[in-house]
Amino acid sequence: MSTHKIETILKEQYVPSAEFYSQIIDSLQDYSVFTVDKELNINSWNSGATKIFKYNTEDIIGKPFETIFIKEDKDNGIPKQEIERVSNTGKSNDTRWYKRKDGTKFYADGLVFPLKNEDNILIGYVKVLRDITARKASEDAIKKYAKELEELNVHKENVLAILSHDLRSPLTGIIQGAEYLRANYDILEPTFVKELLEEFLAAVVNELNMLDYLVEWARIKYASEAFVPSKIDLSQYVKKVFEYLKDTAAIKSIKFNNNIEADTHVFADGKMIISILQNLVSNAIKFSYVSGEITLSARKREDMILIEVKDTGIGISEETQKKLFIPQVKLAKAVEENKGAGIGLLLAKGFIEKNDGIIWVESTEGKGSSFYFTLPLNKPINRTAILKNIQTVESI
């Protein structure tokens, strides 16, 4: 038998069938593999896709390609953009969030390429993707951990700067003044002595306030065991802060408005929330005009609550706004210029971020400022996973 005939027999005998390839694709449990027709409707679905997306084959066949995309991507036309890239370049790679049947999201690395028949005519598209949510969580945790280490080093430098300058200098002045008073008490006018003592008192109170800020700021950086989040009624905490600061506000005839509805709950550390609100409202009082107003409001924003602290005060310049929440800004200088406002805002920022929120400001000079920050509605599902990832990184 000739070699050519043997090769022909072997080739005919061992050519895999379409069913064979289908079985291979269906065995890829860690990969979602499915096809869509030219009208972008899903027309095949492997078991890996069922495992990842939670859709059974009968549930998804015939559904639009965009079914698996999150709302934001659908609104931005991402599904069609993927297909357009395939038409232009022959394939489309993406890494993005997708949606399961139950509405939960996962992060995946995907590829789309054209599906053609034996005559090289386009009959649809193939989408292959892999769930990489765990990998993304690990990468995010590493980035967060690196950022926290960087900020911790800056924090140490700033604390040393404050201890050596902002705390030491006033104490030196108080000591010198007290020595002068002791040496000349008998010959000094009582009015002058009283003025001097009032200056001493004001300086000591400022020193104590600054120490309180440092202790609180150190708590969020070092005392992680002090962080105890729970579900709290935000409106009640605002009432407590307004009650605490009402005498300070009364000096400038400032009106408080609590527009946060009762039973507006957030998942956060109660002590930190008190500190955040006190800092933001205190600053609002400090920079408000006489007979001004300070209003707190809140609204739901996806799985977060967005809180606004609005005042009708002097406002903040655009240049200052850019520097308000930058840890690299020397706190000693911020305290000197703003009499504590600098530390207070960084303290609030640290507490907010500890509670999985963010903070920013919008302001117009002469018309007032609005400080916005977010807090989670419920206990973040990924908090434990992130902490475990950070612990894993630390042990490597």
* Cβ atoms 48, 29 nearer than 8 A: yes
Torsion of CA 179, 180, 184, 185, to 10 degrees: -70
- Residue 10 is predicted with a pLDDT of 47
Percent of the chain whose predicted confidence (pLDDT) is above 70: 76
Query: Phi and psi (nearest 5°) for 328?
Result: -70, -15
Among 40-54, 60-74, 342-356, the range scoring the smallest mean pLDDT is 342-356
Instruction: Tell me what pLDDT residue 200 has.
Output: 85
The model scores a pTM over 0.75? no
**What pLDDT, on the 0 to 100 scale, is given for residue 259?**
96
Domains of the chain, by residue range, sit at 3-131, 137-395
Q: Is pLDDT at 13 greater than 90 in this prediction? A: no
Q: What tokens appear for 40 in the block?
A: 């972008």
Of 261, 308, 243, the residue nearest 280 (C-alpha): 308
DSSP-assigned letters across all residues of 260-324: PPTT-EEEEEHHHHHHHHHHHHHHHHHTPPTT-EEEEEEEEETTEEEEEEEE-SS---HHHHHHT
Q: Per-residue pLDDT for 327 more than 80?
A: no
Classified by CATH at the fold level, domain 3-131 comes out as: Beta-Lactamase (3.30.450)
State residue 390's pLDDT score: 35
pLDDT in tens, 245-274: 998 899 899 999 999 998 899 999 998 899
The CA distance from 161 to 210, in Å, is 13
Q: Say which CATH topology domain 137-395 has.
A: Heat Shock Protein 90 (3.30.565)
d(CA 356, CA 105): 18
